[in-house]
């Protein structure tokens, strides 16, 4: 059975102004751009503190994520760097393989 793969990006903003700029950037197109690559089936954007955000992009297979990394990641990262050139938003990227899902699927 093939399990989904989650590409996760944690964003740590230097201050409230950077957080506001990141929020606008993400909501006004970045997540849509990620989905438009055709490599992901859904995306989520979450906040755990005033200056800490997480994006989760779900790929159906590792091959889909590999295709994103090979064909689209450089351009997406370059665009992000243009928007946040002074390092006011630091990114940490991780890849997760789904092992299971439990409970109410309406919120997944």
pLDDT digits (tens, 9 = 90+) for 78-99: 999 999 999 999 999 999 998 8
Confidence (pLDDT) at 99? 85
Q: What is the mean pLDDT of residues 7-11?
A: 98
* CB < 8 Å & 24+ apart, contacts of 21-29: 21/83, 21/84, 21/88, 21/89, 22/53, 22/84, 22/89, 23/53, 25/80, 25/83, 25/84, 26/53, 26/55
Evaluate if residue 108 carries a pLDDT over 70.
no
Whole-prediction pTM value? 0.89
* Per-domain residue ranges of the chain: 5-98
Instruction: Report the C-alpha gap between 108 and 103 in whole angstroms.
Output: 9
- The CATH code of domain 5-98 reads 3.30.70.100
Q: Between 1 and 94, whose confidence is greater?
A: 94
CB 65 within 8 A of CB 94: no
């Amino acid at each position: 059975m093939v399990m989904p793969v989650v590409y996760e990006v944690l964003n740590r903003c230097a201050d409230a102004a950077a957080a506001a700029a990141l929020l606008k950037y993400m909501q006004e197109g970045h997540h849509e751009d990620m989905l438009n690559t055709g490599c992901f089936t859904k995306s989520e954007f979450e906040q755990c503190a005033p200056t800490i955000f997480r994006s989760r992009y779900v790929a159906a297979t590792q091959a889909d994520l590999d295709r994103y990394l090979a064909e689209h990641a450089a351009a997406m990262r370059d665009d992000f760097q243009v928007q946040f050139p002074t390092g006011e938003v630091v990114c940490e990227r991780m890849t997760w393989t789904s092992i299971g899902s439990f409970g109410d699927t309406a919120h997944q």
